[in-house]
Chain A
Amino acid sequence: MAIVIDMPKLSDTMEEGVISKWNVKEGDKVKSGDIIAEVETDKATMDVEVYDDGVVLKIVAKEGDAVPLGKAMAIIGEEGEDISDLLDGDGGDASGGEKAEKKPKKDEEKDEDAEKAGDDGEDDEDEDEDVDDGKAKESGKKDGDNGKDKDAGKTAKKSGDKSDDGKKGKEKKDFDPLFGDLNGDEKTKDAKAKTDSGDDRVKVSPLARKMAEEQGISLSDVKGSGPQGRIVKKDIEEFDKDAAKSSKSAKPAAPAADMIPSGESKELKVSQMRKAIARRLAESKFTSPHFYETIDIDMKRAIEARGALNELSEVKISFNDFVVKACAAALRRHPAINSSWMGDKIVQHGDVHVAVAVAIDDGLITPVIKHTDKKGLAQISRETKDLAGRARDKKLQPDEFEGSTFTISNLGMFGIEEFTAIINPPNAAILAVGTIRDVPVVENGMVVPGKRMKVTLSSDHRVVDGASAAEFMNSVRNFLENPTTMLL
């Protein structure tokens, strides 16, 4: 019995994974526990393991393909097994699971169709399409999306056909003496493939599609005025005019620009991580009401303590480690900050898990130091270094970057004096740490050199109020200004 290997859920926020590498090819034998592929999720590159023995019958998704959660990546089974059913079932965007349930209904539906044909000759032609129609029709009735579903089903078929290239490829002819010119079919196929390639299923007339292509108009920018939002000729023509207008109005503003050769703009592919950052942080910033509190902390004693500790410690303890430790201790005392907004309730977490934002290529990730409040500075330092190193290599496991209750973002090393950070959901707060500055301070009536560090807490007002945030910040200040108190 052939088994479909679906895209597994490799992180709690992933919605799709990109196949970054296949370790097997069609025809290879695999056994339970083999790592068959590497998948780039929104957070890291992860291994995909098989749980069954067999032969790789079909690689459904190529390297570089994005596969939605639960959709087929590959099929394994016994050598020579017929997997056409499984391939059909995986019809494009339409859910593969549904297909199996619908099959027994097909006959019923045909009867209905036949009756309909008698009532209304005009519709007859729709009935003789391929068998996928049964399903397409049903969804079509619901949302008027008929044509597209049909296409999706056919595309899946087509890709299925390709698998037996050897046999079918040879039968392909340019001209068939019995049935006439087949060249036209080729064209149609191409056009269809294009229609299906868009994720967002833009409805567009063939002419409008061609016009948009010729004029370099992105169809996703065009609003369709036809039935079910179909983009038609008129929409492209009118869109063109609008575009022309705006470029006209922009022109007089920069007359000198003609003299300067313009630089080349680049379009960058959005990585899975970039997508996740964009989605999650936009969601955080736009749904949770942020408010900000900044304090200026005297770091003189922390600097002294760090110096003393580093003389003994095997690992070099950083100021960030101090901030982590201070926050962990403060979170334990202020459970209101160590919380999450869950829509209809607030959860105050029993454990303190502080995440530290780590910049990596093309994004950032927030590895978690579990039970931070129970750990000493040396251990925090060691774990942070290990996690950050592996984060940069994209080798973190999901449990290493999930489950935080609070996050710290430190840009001190870049000389940033102070900044505000966006809360990392489902946390209720995030601390933005600035650099340690040399400032003149007044001590016992004398101006003396001092060391100060500004930290800003962004809080979710649905969970945290100004006063409780202030109390937390005072605890953080006390710990950092009197480092020995953290030893308690």
Chain B
Amino acid sequence: MAELQFREAIRAAMVEEMRRDESVFLMGEEVAEYDGAYKVSQGMLEEFGFRRVIDTPISELGFSGIGVGAAMNGLRPIVEFMTFNFAVVGIDQIINNAAKLRYMSGGQIMIPIVFRGPNASAGQLGATHSVAYEALYGHIPGLKVVYPSEPGDAKGLLKTAIRDDNPVIFLESEQMYGLKGEVSDEEDFTIPFGVAKVKREGNDVTIVAHGKMYHVAQQAAKELAKDGIEAEIVDPRTIKPFDMKTVIESVKKTNRCVIVDETHPFCGIAAEVGFQLQRDAFDYLDAPIQRVTVPDVPAPFAKNLFDLWLPGPKQVIEAVNAVTYRS
């Protein structure tokens, strides 16, 4: 075990997999000579050279397509987007080609590709640079979606993603790159997709939170504990496949659920999880499921408005109070 930053954990996963498998390579804007916009790929050019760590032009549609073509031909590309807000430019390659070619070729073509990069908001970046995309990609059959919240999970899940024969959307956060955590240094340490983790145990309410919002949930749980409310926090870690079983088991114990989700509410992650919960755990619910999301409005730029827009521990506590009939 070593304590690594989130960015170091991701780098470790990529380096280990590139050493292990020659067909793995990294491409993206500024990943090589500049060591990555967020220093994720620092030192990789030195180790693997220009052939396997490739700087691309500012042309997401173009290099996404190159990635998909490379994957079709047997390579295992890791395509880094400077942020997933820029991936929108290349989304035709992701949704129409990467996600569908295996299906449309009757299983003849594999697309072992990872699209990775920071997701969602990161302070005052304005409306077009602050979108959380896990719900959008989760909506598309053929894509797997991962959004880890801690360095340890990030390394294990990214290694699984690189080894997967299907396109994987691997979401990170600018604000979490510096976050430190215990990371396994075992060479073959991988975390399977579709396995959630109960990261805090409690009997009073289940909080489902992934990615950056997981940390908001932890802060809220600390505050709630002062009031004697013990929250159980489930981090699904992968959005698709989603481990509903763990969530349902937890709700059977607590009878209440708050879903914290940085995507917009309509057709968001919380909408889907809430639906499945009411269908499959109906008899265990003692209160309507609540969710905490950003509102159905683009991110504002102004600081005061942005702070209102992004959910924090306060909103989570309010939702917990509602489901525990304390408000």
A contacts, CB < 8 Å to B:
117-118, 120-122, 124-125, 184-185, 187-188, 191, 205-210, 225-227, 232-234
Q: Is there an interface contact between B265 and A206, defined as CB atoms closer than 8 Å?
A: no
Residues of chain B at the chain A interface (Cβ within 8 Å): 255, 264-266, 271, 278-280, 282-287, 291, 293, 295-297, 325
Of listed B266, B279, B280, B282, residue having the most chain A CB within 10 A: B282
The residue on B at minimum CB distance from A123 is: B265
A207 pairs with B279, CB closer than 8 A: no
- Asked whether, in the complex, the Cβ of A124 is within 8 Å of the Cβ of B286, the reply is no
Contact B296 A118 (CB under 8 A): yes
Q: Give A227 to B288 CA distance when docked, in angstroms.
A: 11
B325 touches A124 (CB 8 A): no
Cβ of B290 to closest chain A Cβ, rounded Å? 9
How far apart are the CA atoms of A186 and B179 in the complex, in Å?
A: 45
Tell which of A121, A184, A208 touches B264, judged by Cβ atoms closer than 8 Å: A121
Contact A226 B271 (CB under 8 A): no
Contact of B286 among A117, A121, A125, A232 (CB under 8 A): A232
Pick from A124, A185, A207, A232: contact of B265, CB below 8 A.
A124
Most B C-beta atoms less than 10 A away, residue of A205, A225, A227? A205
**Measured CA separation A386–B283 after assembly (Å):** 57
C-alpha spacing A38/B301, complex, angstroms: 72
Given contacts A125-B265, A207-B283, A226-B287, contact A120 B325 (CB under 8 A): no
Question: How many Å from the CB of A239 to the closest CB on chain B?
Answer: 14
Chain A residues contacting B280 (CB-CB under 8 Å) are 184
B325 adjacent to A191 (CB under 8 Å): no
In the complex, A234 Cα to B255 Cα: how many Å? Answer: 11
Residue of A nearest to B281 (CB): A206
Closest to B276 in A: A184
**What is the number of contacts between chain A and chain B, taking CB atoms within 8 Å?**
59
Residue of B nearest to A128 (CB): B266
In the bound assembly, the distance between CA atoms of A185 and B276 in angstroms comes to 10
Top 8 closest pairs, chain A to chain B, by CB: A121-B296, A184-B279, A207-B286, A233-B286, A121-B265, A210-B283, A205-B286, A121-B295
Chain B residues contacting A225 (CB-CB under 8 Å) are 325
Cα distance, A44 to B185, chains bound together (Å): 86
Q: Which of B264, B266, B295, B325 contacts A232 (CB 8 A)?
A: B325
Query: Given the complex, which residues of B lie within 8 Å of A210, measured CB to CB?
Result: 283-284
* A232 contacts B287, C-beta separation under 8 Å: yes
* Inter-chain contacts of B283 with A (CB < 8 A): 191, 206-207, 209-210
By DSSP majority rule, is chain A's interface helix, strand, loop, or mixed?
Answer: helix
Question: Are A206 and B325 closer than 8 Å at their CB atoms?
Answer: no
Q: Which of A206, A233, A234 contacts B282 (CB 8 A)?
A: A206
Distance in Å from the Cβ of B126 to the closest Cβ of chain A? 19
- A117 CA to B266 CA, complexed, in Å: 10
Residues of B near A124 (CB, < 8 A) are 265-266, 296
Closest to B292 in A: A122
A-B pairs with beta carbons under 8 Å apart, 16 shown: A118-B296, A122-B291, A122-B293, A122-B295, A122-B296, A125-B265, A184-B279, A184-B280, A205-B286, A207-B285, A208-B286, A210-B283, A225-B325, A232-B286, A233-B286, A234-B325
Whether B287 lies near A205 (C-beta < 8 A) is yes
B266 and A121 contacting across the interface, CB-CB below 8 Å: yes
Q: Are B282 and A188 in contact (CB under 8 A)?
A: yes
Using Cβ atoms and an 8 Å threshold, which residues of chain B touch A118? 296
In the bound complex, CA of A91 to CA of B285 (Å): 27
Partner of B285, one of A121, A184, A187, A206: A206
Neighbouring A residues of B279 by C-beta, 8 Å: 184-185, 187-188
- Chain A residues contacting B284 (CB-CB under 8 Å) are 206-207, 210
Nearest Cβ on chain A to B273's Cβ, whole angstroms: 12
Cα A57 to Cα B160 in complex, Å, equals 62
Bound-complex Cα distance A210 to B281 (A): 12
With A117-B296, A207-B284 in contact, is A122–B265 under 8 Å at CB? yes
- Bound-state CA distance A191–B278 (Å) is 11
Q: Across the interface, which residues of B come within 8 angstroms of A227, CB to CB? A: 325
A121 touches B293 (CB 8 A): yes
Q: Quote the shortest CB–CB distance from A406 to chain B (angstroms).
A: 56
Q: Among the interface residues A118, A121, A188, which one has the most CB atoms of the partner chain B within 10 A?
A: A121
Q: How far is the CA of A120 from the CA of B293 in the complex (A)?
A: 11
- Closest-by-CB residue of A relative to B297 is A121
State how many angstroms separate the Cβ of A101 from the closest Cβ of chain B. 31
- Cα-based distance from A225 to B293 in the complex (angstroms): 28
Which B residues touch A117, using CB under 8 A? 296
Given A207-B286, A232-B287, A232-B325, 8 more contacts at CB 8 Å? A120-B296, A122-B293, A125-B271, A185-B279, A205-B286, A207-B283, A208-B286, A233-B286
Give chain A residues whose Cβ lies under 8 Å from the Cβ of B264.
Answer: 121
B232: min CB distance to chain A, Å: 16
Chain B, residue nearest A180 (CB) = B276
B288 CB to nearest A CB, Å: 8
